[in-house]
Amino acid sequence: MQIYYNNLHDITKIRNFSIIAHIDHGKSTLADRIIEFCKAVHDKQMQDQILDSMDIERERGITIKSQTVRLNYKAQDGQNYVLNLMDTPGHIDFAYEVSRCLSACDGSLLLVDTTQGVEAQTLANVYKAIDANHEIIPVLNKTDLPSSDINGTKAQIEEVIGLDTSNAVLTSGKTGAGVDNLLESIIKYIPAPSGNVEGQTKVLLVDAWYDQYLGVVMLISVREGVLKLRDKIKMLHNGSVHEVEKLGFFMPKRNEVNEIKAGEVGYMCANIRLVADCLVGDTIVLEKDTTTKPLPGFKKVQPVVFCGLYPSEPSGYVEMKTAVEKLALNDSSISYEVESSAALGFGLRCGFLGLLHMEIVQERLEREYDADLVTTAPSVVYKMYLNDGTVTEISNPATYPDPVLIREIEEPLAKVSIFTPGDYLGDIMKLCTDKRGSQIDLNYSSGNQRVMLVYKIPLAEIVLDFHDKLKSISKGYASFEWEIAEYVKSDVVKVSILLNGDSVDALSIITHRSRAEQRGRALCAKLRELIPRQMFAVPIQAAIGAKIIARETISAMRKDVTAKCYGGDISRKRKLLDKQKAGKKRMKMLGSVEVPQSAFLAVLKISDD
């Protein structure tokens, strides 16, 4: 049964809005208070982070997947309104989720923590909202804390972002203070959706995920007309035709309806088995419609960090591949292809939106599918211009071409915006310079207390340990966001790791020539600690082409073969020692070195220090 107030559909009484903010500024907590205030969930069923459905989201206290909820609200003017709330992630790796949500909304709540002020992702997300032509309401959160600086935060918003804060709402996600004023501001300032129930049906596909019972579930925003059960629909990107089997709203539990009208956000099932068949950002129309043009969609997601995933035991490859395929049904931003390694056997080369995204996917594979994984060092995409005129993109050291064939190499540069208290400015500038960065801009705000730095830094330097070092230097107060700016010519080389003379491609890395010797030495030293001793000496070497740039040796285990020789001629002992030496030489020729999983993880932890 469809739920409307007075059984009427009045598009002027609908508000579609999202909550955007920097990570940890309290989006999910404020969403909980709004849901409580609208009494969408019974008190006994209410829990913290109610819109975060995954265990990993609750444990880490972060939002990974955007969630939507439809709320009924009776305003102070006595009118009944329908509020469609979208809670978005704050971390930079999930910015694509944010852009998808904003496309389905008409306004945004810009949430700013009054104890932290404007931070990097605050700025990045508000620009996305401005690009989507949103009406933006500044919301100052955590006003109940003693360290809250309301006036300073308002000044920052006006100075750094350029937003008027005269209509800013003061709230506390923890206590629920100000939620009533916030809901009235949403009614007053955020416009109703544009659309006509009488028009030709036009639907935007906002998101899609796989449900083991329903198949693919699609989050949709109906822009024009009405979508009804049993309608024959057509996907404009591939022309495929399906029949609508289920329609509904998240309130926040699924609530099935017979139709969804213009201006509303809901979900749809149409007996589709593969998420790949549902292009996020696609336009859905009725089968008989031949005139409707596609709605403006989203740009296709581009992975920026790649790594190899291998099972710890070669026999576990099939199970691991099945697990990745299942996970990819729920996360269309993962890309993967089969690769093989002499050391690790068959595995998958996977692409991710960032290091946190990579870490989350790995943890979900281990937790939800019991996969036991070995992860190779992360790498970015390099452009190789070969002597024969061809251009190829390389993200895997194993596919790095012969240096003789390469004319030039380009690496991606990221434009990095860093917000920091002025006390840490010198150390952060040194960090950026050490990471081969070049400064573009430096601005002070809010009485010279906070600084915004803009640098161009190679992406390969950011994905290694930049975030950890930035947080360490600034005691956690600095924040940053980045976007790929351009590709530039660079002197990049492949550092190969040889164990007992054999190259181990899974341990090889691609790095700038100025860093090559440093990282080669650090990696050899780390592997010497981690690889167990053998009955023969094992040389560990780092090489660029045929040139060895670093070496460590794991000494052989020594058995005292002369222990039973009491007295007697020295030649007897010498004969036993020579025999042992010849045996070790033969063993070294035939022996293979087992590399523990911790050795592959060591590549991730190699620092520039």
- DSSP assignment of 409-460 equals EEEEEEEEEEEEEGGGHHHHHHHHHHTT-EEEEEEEETTTTEEEEEEEEEHH
Q: How far apart are CA 121 and CA 481, in angstroms?
A: 6
* Annotated binding-site members: 24-29
Per the CB < 8 A criterion, the answer to whether 315 and 357 are in contact is: no
* Annotated binding-site members for GTP: 24-29
What residues contact residue 245 under an 8 Å CB cut-off, 6+ apart? Answer: 229, 269, 270, 271
DSSP 8-class letter at 12: G
- What DSSP line would sit under 25-87, residue for residue? SSHHHHHHHHHHHTT-S-TTT--TTTT--SHHHHHHT---S-EEEEEEEE-TTS-EEEEEEEE
Provide the terminal-to-terminal Cα distance of the chain, rounded to the nearest Å.
Answer: 64
DSSP 8-class letter at 301: P
Per-residue pLDDT, 298: 59
Alpha helices in 177-304 (DSSP H): 179-189
Partnered with residue 410 across adjacent β-strands are 383, 489
Answer CATH for 5-189 from 1.20.200.10, 3.40.50.300, 3.40.50.920, 3.30.420.10: 3.40.50.300
Please classify residue 447 by burial: count the beta carbons closer than 10 Å to its beta carbon, then call 0-12 exposed, 13-18 middle and 19+ buried: exposed
The 3-state DSSP class for residue 248 equals strand
Tell me whether strands 80-87 and 14-21 are parallel, antiparallel or unpaired: parallel
Q: Report whether CATH 2.40.30.10 matches the domain 202-286.
A: yes
Pinpoint the residues of the chain covered by CATH 2.40.30.10.
202-286
451: how many CB neighbours lie within 10 A of its CB? 21
Pinpoint the residues of the chain covered by CATH 3.30.70.240.
383-489
> Omega before 378 cis (within 30°)?
no
Domain 305-375 architecture = 2-Layer Sandwich (3.30)
Pinpoint the residues of the chain covered by CATH 3.30.70.2570.
493-605
Please classify residue 144 by burial: count the beta carbons closer than 10 Å to its beta carbon, then call 0-12 exposed, 13-18 middle and 19+ buried: middle
Take residue 525 and report the two structure tokens written for it. Answer: 């030293």
Please classify residue 219 by burial: count the beta carbons closer than 10 Å to its beta carbon, then call 0-12 exposed, 13-18 middle and 19+ buried: buried
CB-based contacts of 485-489 (< 8 A; 24+ apart in sequence): 485/413, 485/414, 485/415, 485/456, 486/412, 486/413, 487/383, 487/410, 487/411, 487/412, 487/413, 488/410, 488/411, 488/413, 489/408, 489/409, 489/410
- What DSSP line would sit under 135-203, residue for residue? EEEEEEE-TTSTT--HHHHHHHIIIII----TT-EE--TTT-TTHHHHHHHHHHHSPPPP--TTS--EE
Of 472, 457, 477, 360, nearest to 414 by C-alpha is 457
Of 479, 452, 60, nearest to 49 by C-alpha is 60
Per-residue pLDDT, 429: 92
Q: How far apart are CA 24 and CA 13, in angstroms?
A: 31
Q: How far apart are CA 588 and CA 576, in angstroms?
A: 18
What residues contact residue 217 under an 8 Å CB cut-off, 6+ apart? Answer: 208, 209, 210, 211, 267, 268, 269
The distance of Cα 497 from the centroid of its chain, to the nearest Å, equals 29
Amino acid identity, position 423: D
Helix H or strand E encompassing 383: strand 382-386
Per the CB < 8 A criterion, the answer to whether 500 and 538 are in contact is: yes
Tell me whether strands 202-211 and 169-170 are parallel, antiparallel or unpaired: unpaired
Alpha-carbon Rg for the chain, nearest whole angstrom, is 29
Pinpoint the residues of the chain covered by CATH 3.40.50.300.
5-189
Partnered with residue 441 across adjacent β-strands are 454
The ranges of the chain with pLDDT < 50 are 1-8, 49, 52-53, 57-60, 63-64, 587-591
- What DSSP line would sit under 520-572, residue for residue? HHHHHHHHHHHSPP-SS-EEEEEEETTEEEEEEEEPPP---TTTT--SS-HHH
Per the CB < 8 A criterion, the answer to whether 189 and 137 are in contact is: yes
Q: How far apart are CA 312 and CA 373, in angstroms?
A: 5
> pLDDT tens across 130-178, in order?
888 889 999 998 888 888 888 888 888 888 888 888 888 898 878 888 8
Pinpoint the residues of the chain covered by CATH 3.30.70.870.
305-375
Per-residue pLDDT, 409: 92
Q: What is the dihedral of CA 496, 498, 501, 502, to 10 degrees?
A: -80
Q: How far apart are CA 273 and CA 245, in angstroms?
A: 13
Per the CB < 8 A criterion, the answer to whether 387 and 405 are in contact is: yes
Answer CATH for 383-489 from 3.40.30.10, 3.30.70.240, 3.30.980.10, 3.30.2140.20: 3.30.70.240
DSSP 8-class letter at 379: B
Per-residue pLDDT, 597: 60
Amino acid identity, position 579: K
Q: How far apart are CA 385 and CA 387, in angstroms?
A: 7
Per the CB < 8 A criterion, the answer to whether 286 and 201 are in contact is: yes
Answer CATH for 493-605 from 3.50.50.60, 3.90.76.10, 3.30.70.2570, 1.10.1060.10: 3.30.70.2570
* Torsion sign, CA atoms 279, 283, 284, 289: negative
Take residue 483 and report the two structure tokens written for it. Answer: 């976007």
Report CA-CA distances (Å) from 245 to 39, 250, 267: 29, 16, 11
